[in-house]
Amino acid sequence: MAKTWVHNFGKNVSFKPAIFAEPKNDHEVIELLRQHRGQPVRVMGSRHAWSDAIKTGGVLISTKHLTQIELKPDRQSVCVGAGCKLKHLLKFLKKQGLTLPSVGLIDEQTIAGATATGTHGSGKHSLSHYIRRVRLAHYDKTTKEPVFSELDSGADLRAARCSLGLLGVIVEIEIEVRSAYRIEEHTKRHPSVASVLELEKQYPLQQFFLMPWSWEFYGQHRRETSANSSRLAFLYRTYWLFGIDWLLHLVIILLAGFFYIPRFIRIFYQQVLPKTIIENWLVTDDSHTILTMDHDRFRHIEIELFVNRSNLEAALNHARATIISFGDRSKARTTPASLTKDDCQTDYQQHYYHHYPICVRRIRTDDTLLSMTSPADLNSAEDWYSISFISYQSLHQRSGFFEFANALAISMQENFNARCHWGKFNPLPPSANQNLYPHLKEFREIAKRYDPESRFANDWLKESMLDIPPSAS
């Protein structure tokens, strides 16, 4: 079926594929590949990625009908259709007294979409790490016919765990599950990053926020517990849903749009927000409820950068200096003390007032080839920390954010080897990715075996991952 325009969640990616298809089962996927042999093919899940990952002018396959779930008899893993949304999988698992080993901030993504870009939460590996087997539809190297392959061990599995769709169409994933658990959480203000990190051993699942303009830290201290859910857990949920997910975000949207006035944003973060955060309210609830929020309620755009623990403090100082530089045009034209001369080569053209808390999460190293926390050597690697920068400005107001995100991504990559989330706004040039991912060459060789003619790549991925000029087919 021909399709009109396709947009992603953030509406920063819009394109018109030549063909749009929604196969009902694995065999219809093979049939589609046979029918459109020789044409470029991409797959989409829930379209929540902000990068160009799903873009194509060729065939776009939606996995919305591939949603079957089957628990393995040993209850250690589950086989899931690629298009099953995490929220449906989590609901199914909950009925069995089980859950996923890791979850991000939302559960709207499909299992294949989430793992294709290394989606993660805090304190665990990314979801990709837990994949045990992938069933892939792709073109056979010799016959060029579409076939299924099962990737369940060695480097092929490590490539398939986070592949951005470059090996072919994933139709089913087998992923590890664990028994359901509860999390105890409380929030606490901190004067410095060192003070938050001191609590990490006690609260291994914690994440924290750097508040722009007050530059204070708020730790969401979390750990697994065997305690029962708190009596007031429902009140805490209500506070989060109405107070944080709705009210706080509506205020931020006003500050990012109608009242986009630096003084107001500063006053909000310095004087208003601290009074609304309830510190030390200790609550226990089930992991899914504590870990996810209604973060996809309002459209926004995000860039997320990953650094090693040894670079975290310097990277946060750098981010703070960049935000201040962008926030004050006159200041931006001189070199802030904490930035090197090279960092400030950009003569910032746009105002950009950062207006959202900067979320920092710890992610353990993944046994993958390409996810953002895949290390050179699994045994000797440090944890990674992701740092998120979100803008709630409307589509026509985003040029300042894009300039900010570009400057930040490039300077953080140069200074701290920072990697960019594959599923978020990702402006890093191809040359940077080649240096950042030690297993990229190995990944390319594997991708060539499963997709010898690079039919499953788009222009962005050809350049940044496969070292193929975008115009070549």
Tokens standing for residue 335: 């070199």
Find tokens 């002018």 and name the residue: 57
* Min dist. Cβ of residue 227 to ligand FAD (A): 25
> Which residue of 32, 41, 98, 105 would you call a contact of ligand FAD, by CB under 6 A?
105
9 is an interface residue for ligand FAD by CB under 6 A: yes
* Min dist. Cβ of residue 140 to ligand FAD (A): 17
206 is an interface residue for ligand FAD by CB under 6 A: no
| Closer to ligand FAD by Cβ: residue 134 or 332 | 134
- AA letter at 336: P
49 is an interface residue for ligand FAD by CB under 6 A: yes
54 is an interface residue for ligand FAD by CB under 6 A: yes
45 is an interface residue for ligand FAD by CB under 6 A: yes
Using a 10 angstrom Cβ sphere, with 0-12 exposed, 13-18 middle and 19 or more buried, the burial of residue 281 is: middle
137 is an interface residue for ligand FAD by CB under 6 A: no
How many residues does the structure list for the chain?
Answer: 473
Q: Which residues of 342-360 are buried (b: 16+ CB within 10 A; e: fewer)?
A: ebbebebeebbbbbbbbbb
43 is an interface residue for ligand FAD by CB under 6 A: yes
User: Closest-CB residue for ligand FAD?
Assistant: 113
357 is an interface residue for ligand FAD by CB under 6 A: no
| Closer to ligand FAD by Cβ: residue 9 or 384 | 9
48 is an interface residue for ligand FAD by CB under 6 A: yes
Helix (H, G, I), strand (E, B), or coil: what is residue 323?
Answer: helix
423 is an interface residue for ligand FAD by CB under 6 A: yes
385 is an interface residue for ligand FAD by CB under 6 A: no
| Closer to ligand FAD by Cβ: residue 164 or 273 | 164
318 is an interface residue for ligand FAD by CB under 6 A: no
CA distances from 38 to 25, 215, 451 (A): 22, 53, 11
Cβ atoms < 10 Å from Cβ of 225: 13
| Closer to ligand FAD by Cβ: residue 63 or 454 | 63
120 is an interface residue for ligand FAD by CB under 6 A: yes
Helix (H, G, I), strand (E, B), or coil: what is residue 34?
Answer: helix
117 is an interface residue for ligand FAD by CB under 6 A: yes
400 is an interface residue for ligand FAD by CB under 6 A: no
CA dihedral 383, 385, 386, 389 (to 10 degrees): -170
360 is an interface residue for ligand FAD by CB under 6 A: no
> Which residue of 44, 89, 305, 360 would you call a contact of ligand FAD, by CB under 6 A?
44
Output Rg (C-alpha) for the chain, integer angstroms: 22
Helices (H), 108-153: 111-116
Give the binding-site size for ligand FAD (rule: CB under 6 A).
33
116 is an interface residue for ligand FAD by CB under 6 A: yes
* Alpha carbons 40 and 154: distance in angstroms, whole number: 28
Nearest 5 degrees, angle CA 294-CA 297-CA 302? 90
* Alpha carbons 203 and 172: distance in angstroms, whole number: 34
* Alpha carbons 168 and 281: distance in angstroms, whole number: 47
> Which residue of 33, 159, 160, 169 would you call a contact of ligand FAD, by CB under 6 A?
169
* Min dist. Cβ of residue 53 to ligand FAD (A): 3
> Which residue of 77, 102, 109, 325 would you call a contact of ligand FAD, by CB under 6 A?
109
* Min dist. Cβ of residue 292 to ligand FAD (A): 8
Is residue 431 within 8 Å of residue 326, measured between CB atoms?
A: no
* Alpha carbons 43 and 170: distance in angstroms, whole number: 9
| Closer to ligand FAD by Cβ: residue 187 or 325 | 187
* Min dist. Cβ of residue 328 to ligand FAD (A): 29
Strand 384-391 and strand 358-363: the pairing is antiparallel
* Min dist. Cβ of residue 45 to ligand FAD (A): 2
454 is an interface residue for ligand FAD by CB under 6 A: no
> Which residue of 113, 123, 327, 375 would you call a contact of ligand FAD, by CB under 6 A?
113
Using a 10 angstrom Cβ sphere, with 0-12 exposed, 13-18 middle and 19 or more buried, the burial of residue 2 is: exposed
x/- letters, 276..315, toward ligand FAD (CB under 6 A): -------------------xx-------------------
Q: What is the DSSP letter of 452?
A: T
> Which residue of 165, 219, 357, 375 would you call a contact of ligand FAD, by CB under 6 A?
165
* Min dist. Cβ of residue 242 to ligand FAD (A): 18
Q: Which residues of 31-67 are buried (b: 16+ CB within 10 A; e: fewer)?
A: ebbeebeeebbbbbbbbbbbbbbbbbebbbbbbbebb
List residues binding ligand FAD (CB under 6 A): 9, 42-49, 53-54, 63, 82, 104-106, 109-110, 112-114, 116-117, 119-120, 164-165, 169-170, 295-296, 423-424
